[in-house]
């Protein structure tokens, strides 16, 4: 029997739950994906009610409670100032999901605006030694690791784990630095297949730099928004404005559409943890 392809996200605590739920609802209800939705979940960190909400939208929960991988804390704090990102080394577990063919990994702070299903067909012949990702807006010779297309493979997984334990495996202390070292830098870029920026647009209202004319020119073609940085849309509704580049508006419009007042207030009162 041929293997399935699927979307997958990572969720290790309740502080990213509103994002993970809105992401799944968007893919299923609005964009009507025909693919399965999977979550790599640390169940021990979520309440029963939160797990019920996850079960309502995700087709499969892969528990990773006893498999979490942490990057050494000192470097991620030193380089990025964000302790909570140490846990993102757990993205390496993606390569161990070899019951699946192609995986499209999406961070739980992403919001697709258009269907991404065509990417499965486009990259069906991808090799497990390659990765597909968009350039990072802060350093375009490096890919952003919030949207990844990959082929799970136990051999590549073992190599990643081995590599992650070496000194200097990650230049930023987290998964993005590690995955770029492994797939991109070590092959002088040849194992990184570039996905257009339109598939991982990372505006940040605190960014000093935004290429506004390009934003206007390509606005209608944006396939996915990614709310990078410490401050996520669900942390506050009161910064919303009608500015075109205030992308938090898009997340709130969907969250308000998908969840009733009752559930919304519960979700918004969840602990924000280190991420806040």
Can you give the binding site for ligand UPG, defined by CB under 6 A? 9-13, 15-16, 84-85, 87-88, 107-109, 144-146, 172, 174-176, 228-229, 275
**What gap in Å lies between CA 63 and CA 144, rounded to an integer?**
25
CA distances from 212 to 111, 137, 218 (A): 20, 13, 10
Return the residue matching tokens 């605190």. Answer: 206
CB nearer to ligand UPG: give 40 or 156.
40
Nearest-approach distance from CB 23 to ligand UPG, in angstroms: 9
Q: Which residues contact 158 (CB under 8 A, 6 or more apart)?
A: none
Q: Which residues contact 265 (CB under 8 A, 6 or more apart)?
A: none
Strands 36-41 and 60-63, bridge-based pairing:
parallel
CB nearer to ligand UPG: give 107 or 117.
107
Picking from 226, 222, 218, 28, the residue whose alpha carbon sits closest to that of residue 117 is 28
CB nearer to ligand UPG: give 93 or 156.
93
Number of Cβ within 10 Å of residue 81's Cβ equals 10
Nearest-approach distance from CB 261 to ligand UPG, in angstroms: 25
Nearest-approach distance from CB 144 to ligand UPG, in angstroms: 5
b or e along 89-107 (b: 16 or more beta carbons within 10 Å of the residue's beta carbon)? Answer: bbbbbbbbbeebebbbbbb
CB nearer to ligand UPG: give 172 or 181.
172
Nearest-approach distance from CB 61 to ligand UPG, in angstroms: 14
CB nearer to ligand UPG: give 15 or 96.
15
Nearest-approach distance from CB 134 to ligand UPG, in angstroms: 10
């Amino acid at each position: 029997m041929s293997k399935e392809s699927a979307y997958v996200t990572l969720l290790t605590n309740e502080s990213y739950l509103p994002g993970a739920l809105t992401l799944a609802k968007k893919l299923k209800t609005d964009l009507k994906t025909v693919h399965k939705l999977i979550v790599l979940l640390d169940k021990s960190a979520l309440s029963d009610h939160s797990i019920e909400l996850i079960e309502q939208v995700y087709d499969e929960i892969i528990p990773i409670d006893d498999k979490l991988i942490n990057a050494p804390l000192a470097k991620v704090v030193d380089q990025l100032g964000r302790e909570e990102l140490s846990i993102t080394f757990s993205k390496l577990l993606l390569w161990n999901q070899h019951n699946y063919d192609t995986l499209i990994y999406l961070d739980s702070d992403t919001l697709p605006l258009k269907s991404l299903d065509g990417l499965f067909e486009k990259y069906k012949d991808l090799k497990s030694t390659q990765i597909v990702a968009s350039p990072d807006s802060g350093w375009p010779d490096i890919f952003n690791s919030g949207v990844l297309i990959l082929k799970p493979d136990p051999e590549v997984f073992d190599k990643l784990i081995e590599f992650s334990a070496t000194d200097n495996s990650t230049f930023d202390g987290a998964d993005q630095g590690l995955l770029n070292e492994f797939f991109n830098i070590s092959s002088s870029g040849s194992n990184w297949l570039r996905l257009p920026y339109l598939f991982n647009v990372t505006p940040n209202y605190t960014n000093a730099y935004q290429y506004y004319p390009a934003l206007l020119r390509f606005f209608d073609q944006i396939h996915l928004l990614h709310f990078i940085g410490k401050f996520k849309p669900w942390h506050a509704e009161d910064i919303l404005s009608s500015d075109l580049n205030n992308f938090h508006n898009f997340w709130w419009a969907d969250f308000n559409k998908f969840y009733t007042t009752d559930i919304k207030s519960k979700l918004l009162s969840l602990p924000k943890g280190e991420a806040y």
